[in-house]
Amino acid sequence: MDGLQHFLQVFFDPVIISHYWPAIVGGLWVTLGLAVAIVIAGILSGLLLACLRCAGIRWLNGLIIAFADIWRALPPLVVILILYFGLPGVGITFSAWMVLFLTLSLVLAAFSEEIFWAGIRAVDRGQWEAARACGMRSITVLIWIVLPQAMRMAMPSLTNRSIAITKMTALGTVIGVPEILYQASSAQSFSGSATPLTMGALAYIAMFLPFVILGRWLESRMNWRRT
Amino acid sequence: MENFADQFFNLDLMWQSLPLLMKGLWVTLQICVVVIILGGLGGLLLAVASDSKSAWLRWPTIIYVDFFRAVPPLVLLIFVYSGMPFAGVNLSPYMAVILAFLLNNSAYYSEVYRAGLQSIPPGQVEASRSTGMSRLQTMVWVVIPQAVRNVLPDLLSNTVEVVKLTSLASVVSLGDLLYRADMARSMSYNSSPIVLAALVYLVLLWPLVRMVSRFERKQHQ
Amino acid sequence: MNETAAVSLQGGAPSAAHNPFPILELIGLNKAFGEQLVLDSIDLKVRPGELVCVIGPSGSGKSTMLRCCNRLEEPSGGQVIVDGTDLMDRQTSIDRMRQKIGMVFQQFNLYPHYSALGNVALALRLVKKLSRSRAESLAFDALSRVGLADRAGHYPHQLSGGQQQRVGIARAIALDPKIVLFDEPTSALDPELVGSVLEVMRELRDIGMTMLVVTHEMAFARAVADRVVFMADGNIVEQGPPEQIFQAPLHERTRAFVEQRH
Ligand SMILES: Nc1ncnc2c1ncn2[C@@H]1O[C@H](COP(=O)(O)OP(=O)(O)OP(=O)(O)O)[C@@H](O)[C@H]1O
Ligand SMILES: [Mg+2]
């Protein structure tokens, strides 16, 4: 066998592909579902926290900042292990799904809170004052004037951060969530072939590459506007 | 409540596992240094290439970067560690971790640097070239220092991500901080060692995370 | 000084036999951006010690011509000869030639991460390979010449626009160039800061520096230039001593432009 053929045989074995195809697709749906749930929960809670922070209540802001700092500093895998293996010891049992969802949503919430907050602060003070001068209430100003602008500014970072965090659903493998990587690596050990790993990698690329490109596009559009 | 304290904050157990964890921390720091330095340099080269005028240089780089940004690092790691041996390439866990994280991180660093390079007005290059400085000298002395300064917060936050990333090394049984902590956990059926590991990560990264936020605030003003 | 002025009274007639060897010579210079021809076969000579001002309406190709003189812009055709060397020749090291061609920019383009002294010294160190102390002492001399010796340690953002532009000039002359190109050096300045920069340029002229200056400062061109070049639509329409261009232009377009600017 020459080199290329051997390579194809190892990483793109057609027999293996046809056999494990359904498992990988099943994993793809799991990853997709988790990703959507995490993005929605994470970004909404991040937004909510950023808005609460606008209220300027001292102790509350302290809590929010601590929350954001801690969840940005902790490696998600550490949290996953604590929640999955530690909590049953005190009588709380979450499913592997729930642990993965909770951890990644909280991480995304922390990051998106910071991103939204940076966006809100970047909106010109004059906008606040102008709107307040028209007799609008703070909350109205926030929702109708400030947030839309902050949102636009936050879009590129938010997209990139969401991709980075939803990619971490692959960590579910460690606690047995049947997502793409889990399916791929168990297929790999059953079949004794590297092909399922290739399939897994390709599944991730099919899922995330469009968003990576979207993020790049959003970013370039922002730069273009600024100049 | 007592149960809770025992499960997560058993001080005796933490104390006992501390030496083991410190050994792991040493491994973690080693990987960090290698990946941050090599990944940072590689990312810089990729960024320069992806900003190049030559399409032959630009497109392969962009494809490389987007490809590795789309693949989760754990997938990459497992592919390198368990997939490559099928092709006759056997890497030690150490090498596998470093290779996988370098591929991943050079892509991320390159995006950060690229934004930095693009933030430099062309007039800077023109001024420098007009005094007879070569392309390379212009890059090294005029463009890159300013580019790095402009993206310092992003570089820093990417570096935080690298440190967090190294925890994945435990999945391929490299004896890093998390791996040792998990070993201690499975021996004692108690999560305190992992909580201790979490605290170590916090001590390591909290100052950096704070700095990122401070920088970002300054930049927006 | 008077001699070169007298020579240039010939109004750019290229045949004057007693002309010193020109420092800069453009021969049939063309530049096209895509389909659009921006410079249409430009011929121009600048002789040692001359101060030549280029005027003309916006978009006439003044900046493009200037930038072709050190190949910041790549000419589409023709020759650029500086100090006897053809810049377009493949054998020519453009980096070496650029040491002989200073350039001053409309937007100053100072390096924000270096002090005034650092801005001027950088190329001395990297291009001329001088030691740090030698480079800094030369840079200090150049700053003194533009009246900024006391600002050597300041960073660009700590300097006024006029001071920044004078640092830009110091950076250009520190390498001891044969000619300095200026692209609207005062256009980005507040009116009250223009004077100091023009004053420095006048002093440079008085010590015999050769300069090619694109400018909208008609009063400056009139008072200081040895020769004025009027460009329109990528052509040199007319050139001659300032008295001719401003008082008795030969071409209708020149007259229209000059009158509108008064
Ligand atoms: N990089 C470029 N790409 C395409 N067209 C260009 C480029 N640079 C200049 N041009 C065009 O070339 C023409 C001449 O431009 P140039 O900047 O030389 O004019 P100018 O005489 O310096 O004008 P101004 O007085 O406004 O500075 C203009 O029509 C301009 O649109
Ligand atoms: Mg111009």
pLDDT digits (tens, 9 = 90+) for B38-68: 999 999 999 999 988 889 999 999 999 999 9
ipTM of the complex: 0.91
Question: What's the pLDDT at A150?
Answer: 86
> 2.40.30.200, 3.40.50.300, 3.80.30.20, 3.40.50.620: which CATH number matches C3-260?
3.40.50.300
In this model, does residue A164 exceed pLDDT 80?
Answer: yes
A93-130: string of b/e by CB count within 10 Å (b at 16+)?
Answer: eeebbebbbbbbbbbbbbbbbbbbbbbbbbbeeeebee
* pLDDT score, position C6: 39
Share of chain C above pLDDT 90, in %: 87
pLDDT tens, chain B, 221 aa long: 678 788 888 888 889 989 999 999 999 999 999 999 999 999 999 999 998 888 999 999 999 999 999 999 999 999 999 988 888 888 999 999 999 999 999 999 999 999 999 999 999 999 999 999 999 999 999 999 999 999 998 999 999 999 999 999 999 888 889 899 998 888 888 889 999 999 999 999 999 999 988 887 776 65
Copy the structure tokens of residue B207.
């100052």
Q: What type of residue sits at position C259? A: E
Query: Which positions ≥6 away from C2 have C-beta within 8 Å?
Result: none
Q: Which among A73, A174, A193 has the least Cβ separation from residue B205?
A: A73
A222 contacts: CB under 8 Å, gap ≥ 6: A153, A155, A156
User: Hey, are the CB atoms on C105 and B131 less than 8 Å from each other?
Assistant: no
> Which ligand is located closest to the Cα atom of residue C32?
1
Residue of B nearest to A120 (CA): B220
Q: What does the pLDDT average to over A53-59? A: 88
Domain boundaries, chain C: 3-260
Please state the length of chain C: 262
A112 near A158, Cβ under 8 Å? yes
Pick from A4, A7, A5, A25: nearest CA to A202: A25
**Contact predicate A163/A215, CB 8 Å:** yes
Question: Which token pair is B135?
Answer: 């392309």
Question: Which of A52-56, A67-71, A91-95 has the highest mean predicted lDDT (pLDDT)?
Answer: A67-71
Is B28 in the C-facing interface, judged by CB distances under 8 Å? no
- What pLDDT score was predicted for residue C10? 40
Contact A201 B71 (CB under 8 A): yes
Rounded alpha-carbon distances, angstroms, from residue B23 to B8, B18, B99, B195? 21, 9, 22, 16
Residue A219 is predicted with a pLDDT of: 80
Report pLDDT for C41.
92
Q: Provide DSSP, B13-45.
A: HHHHHHHHHHHHHHHHHHHHHHHHHHHHHHHHH
Query: And the tokens for C125?
Result: 């160190």
Per the DSSP assignment, residues forming a β-bridge with C51 are C211
DSSP SS3 for A142: helix
Contact call for residues B212 and B157 (beta carbons, < 8 A):
yes
Assign C262 a pLDDT band (cuts: 50, 70, 90): low
Banded pLDDT at A22 (limits 50, 70, 90): very high
What is the rounded CA–CA span in Å between residue B140 and residue C181?
Answer: 25
CA distance B61 to B68: 11
On the 0-12 / 13-18 / 19+ scale of CB atoms within 10 A, A56 is: exposed
- Using the structure block, give the residue that is written with the tokens 């190949």: C71
Rounded to an integer, what distance in angstroms lies between the CA atom of residue B142 and that of residue B195? 46
B129 inside 8 A of chain C by CB: yes
Q: How high is the pLDDT of residue A1?
A: 55
In this prediction, residue B220 carries a pLDDT of: 60
Q: Determine contact: B205 vs chain A, CB below 8 A.
A: yes
Checking phi first, is residue C48 left (phi over 0); if not, alpha (psi -120 to 50) or beta? Answer: beta
- Is residue A55 classed as helix, strand or coil in its secondary structure? coil
From C164's Cα to the closest Cα of chain B, the distance in A is 13
Q: CB–CB of A156/A222 below 8 Å? A: yes
Residue pair A37/A172 in contact by the 8 Å Cβ criterion = no
Instruction: Write out chain B residues lying below 8 Å of A125, CB-based.
Output: none
Of the two residues A123 and C228, the one the predictor is more confident about is: C228
Strands C77-82 and C227-232 turn out to be unpaired
- C123–B132 C-beta distance less than 8 A: yes
Contacts with C123 from chain B: Cβ below 8 Å: 128, 131-133
Tell me the three state secondary structure of residue B52. coil
Please state which of the ranges A13-17, C111-115, C131-135 shows the lowest mean pLDDT: A13-17
CA distance C230 to C215: 11
Q: Is the pLDDT of residue C8 over 50?
A: no
Asked if pLDDT for residue C97 goes beyond 90, the answer is yes
Ligand approaching nearest to the C-alpha of B122: 1
Residue A134 has a CB neighbour count (10 Å cut-off) of 10
Reported as a single tens digit per residue, the pLDDT across B144-175 is: 999 999 999 899 999 999 999 999 999 988 88
For residue C33, what are its two tokens? 């951006």
A 10 A CB-CB count for B12 gives 9
Please state, in angstroms and as integers, the Cα–Cα distance from residue A69 to each residue in A121, A142, B177, following that order. 18, 24, 21
- The answer, yes or no, to whether any atom of ligand 1 lies below 6 A from the CB of C59, is yes
Q: Angle A11-A15-A16 (CA atoms, 0-180°, nearest 5)?
A: 55
Supply the pTM of this predicted model: 0.88
* Cα distance between residue B53 and residue B216, in whole Å: 31
